[in-house]
Amino acid sequence: MRDSTEMNTDIFSDILKVAEARSLVTGGFTAGGRWAIRFPAPTTIKFFAIVQGQCYVMIDDEPEALHFATGDVGLLSAQRGFVLASHTDVEPLDAMSLFSGGGKKSTQLGDGSDFRQIGGHVLLDPVFGPVLREMLPSWIQIHAASPQATTIRWLLQQLVAEQADGQPGAQLASAQLAQLLFIQVLRVHMQKADALPAGWLRAMCDRRIAPAMSMLHGDPAHNWRLEELASACAMSRTTFALRFRTSVGCAPLTYLQEWRMHLGKQALRKKTTSVAEIAQTLGYASASAFSNAFRRVTGMSPKTWREAGGYDSDRQTLPASASVNV
């Protein structure tokens, strides 16, 4: 049996790469006095951070307003409209009218002395993005007072500095910092393993099946047997299979097939890579064996999927409506 200790695979990075998650800062606003802004339902994942002051966040279909203080970060993955407000009883202004026109990236309500916020978006690949997005709750709030939020506070300070200084390379630096902020928010969220739904996010927090997950991701072309995976996790076949299904939501070999299909789709975007080469890379005995498996999962052949536009031309971009600052 292979030594699983040699497969120190970073599954989290694997998923982020497959989803092609990329973060960007779109701006922010300042406010003073009593104020409120309504934002439309996002088509992307949105994040926002409170740099100064406090506010209430009222998300459509949520029964109660959320209180955010200085240093708090929010992540909204659900396609729901929401309101940011100094007080819950203020009639909100429409964000589209406040931020529209001339590439406007910031605005001020009142004298702007009480509150400051910056925000942005996390773009995902339209084909592979659901691998990540479907594992996220509707919203996440990370409190600045949380002991795990030290890195987030530092990243937020750096983002504010990049936005204010206007140094060469500020746009790229802000995007890199926003990417790190997104990763750190997910890391903090993953510490609540018991509250996570079944899926790869929960599986990464489950130390009992971590060796098997590392093996599957470290060498997806290998013909893994249930006995090998269970032995690496120091469990019986039955106990391991139950634990894996509880954490991941499917059987180990089903997960392996699904992961192979994700990797196969990515490889098909490179039009110079043949189906036979992809099949060999993923551990299939022949191009026809891979094609049959691909057709069972997707309903079409690899060639048809490739010709249907499953490559870079379908990359998710930021819609005009999503450029509204949060």
287: number of Cβ within 10 Å = 16
Question: Is 14-192 a domain of CATH 3.40.50.920?
Answer: no
pLDDT in tens, 4-25: 444 456 888 888 888 888 998 8
Annotated domain spans of the chain: 14-192, 200-307
302 compared with 199, residue with greater pLDDT: 302
Got the DSSP string for 183-209? HHHHHHHHT-GGGSPSSHHHHHH-TTT
The one-character DSSP state at 291 is H
Q: What is the pLDDT of residue 8?
A: 54
User: pLDDT category, 187, cuts 50, 70, 90?
Assistant: confident
Give the mean pLDDT of the chain: 85
Q: Give, rounded to a whole angstrom, the gap between the first and last alpha carbons of the chain.
A: 51
166 compared with 317, residue with greater pLDDT: 166
Find which of 38-47, 103-112, 122-131, 302-311 is predicted with most confidence, using mean pLDDT.
38-47
Q: What is the pLDDT of residue 237?
A: 95
The CATH superfamily assigned to 200-307 is: Homeodomain-like (1.10.10.60)
Q: What is the CA radius of gyration of the chain?
A: 22
